[in-house]
Amino acid sequence: MKNNKTLTAALALAMSAALLAGCSGTAAGSTPAGSAPATAENAGDSDLLDKIQQAGVMIVGTEGTYSPNSYHDENGDLVGFDVDVARGVAEHLGVEIQFVEAEWDSLFASMDSGRIDLVVNEVEASEERRQKYDFSEPYTYVHGALLVGADNTDITGFDDLAGKRAAQNMTSSWGQQAEAYGAELVSVDAVAQGIELILSGRADCMLNAETAFYDYLNKHPDAAVQIVAETDTTTSSCIPVPKGNERLVAAINEALDEMRASGELAALSEQYFGADVTSE
């Protein structure tokens, strides 16, 4: 897949002025949450797919701190499985791509306010989220995993989480699952931060995607942590867009189907995860 070029500040400003009156320009590549990107209007006024194609740019929200899905490499470039999937979707739509980086808790708020068009960041299409957003078909299926300190003998499975301190993002699906098992949540924004709390004794465990833990352990083979359990079922990732944008969802699904049929989706999965997690 050839990479979609991100917009320069001048180009983003010109497009915003001409096509989205009142919106401000953005920096090239990805935009930190604190700065103002070219605004993506919400779906209530007209079709979001039309707006993306008319503007010539798709504005995507992602964390930028969640390896191997969305993170910065040693050169400071935004990379990752979800980042490349988003680029593939933009290429299929024939538009440029612009990333807006934000903490997980801010991604959906950014979509609600129209700062971004959609989110590509390992999002589970939970029933609660489906009430507010439309979702693409799944493009990954991963098991949840339970990680504890290397010397922890109290936690050997999910049923041992009652009363334990789990380092979790407070609004993520993984955090909700840990809470359902009776864990007391300790707020973190990233996997590495959660593992640091476990190593320092400020948290007992963490529940997250197996791929995120394996990525961390591959990079930190001497880390004094261990995976003690994995879920029997998988959790799928989808791409959410504002409610009422069926045409955009159909276009995203078409892009994902094309990437799957060509083998590109599986190749990206192997590149970033070391395994093909794009099918059940």
Q: What is the DSSP letter of 28?
A: S
Of the candidates 145, 150, 116, the one whose C-alpha atom is nearest the C-alpha of residue 133 is 116
The sign of the CA dihedral 238, 121, 132, 56 is negative
User: What is the Cβ-side half-sphere exposure of residue 79, based on CA atoms within 13 angstroms?
Assistant: 10
User: What is the Cβ-side half-sphere exposure of residue 56, based on CA atoms within 13 angstroms?
Assistant: 11
Percentage of the chain with pLDDT > 90? 79
Does 34 score more than 60 pLDDT? no
Interatomic CA distance for residues 119 and 107, integer angstroms: 7
Check: CB of residue 1 under 8 Å from CB of residue 72.
no
Q: Mean per-residue pLDDT for 11-38? A: 42
> Could you tell me the pLDDT band of residue 37, with boundaries at 50, 70 and 90?
low
> Could you tell me the pLDDT band of residue 2, with boundaries at 50, 70 and 90?
very low
Phi and psi for 224 in degrees, rounded to 5?
-85, 60
From residue 182, how far is each of 40, 153, 176, 225 by CA, in Å?
A: 39, 18, 10, 22
- Our measurement of the distance from residue 179's CA atom to the centroid of its chain's CA atoms, rounded to an integer in Å, reads 21
Interatomic CA distance for residues 184 and 197, integer angstroms: 14
Pairing of strands 205-209, 240-242: unpaired
Q: What is the pLDDT of residue 280?
A: 86
Q: What is the pLDDT of residue 32?
A: 57
The amino acid sitting at 160 is D
Locate 158 and state its tokens.
Answer: 């999910």
Does 222 score more than 60 pLDDT? yes
pLDDT, one tens digit per residue, over 228-248 is: 999 999 999 999 999 999 999
Interatomic CA distance for residues 87 and 60, integer angstroms: 9
End-to-end CA distance of the chain: 24
Q: What is the pLDDT of residue 14?
A: 37
Does 263 score more than 80 pLDDT? yes
> Could you tell me the pLDDT band of residue 152, with boundaries at 50, 70 and 90?
very high
Q: Mean per-residue pLDDT for 95-117? A: 97
Q: What is the pLDDT of residue 21?
A: 37
Stated pTM of the model: 0.77
Phi and psi for 146 in degrees, rounded to 5?
-110, 120
Domains (range + CATH), the chain: 9-139+238-273 (3.40.190.10), 142-235 (3.40.190.10)
Q: Mean per-residue pLDDT for 161-188? A: 95
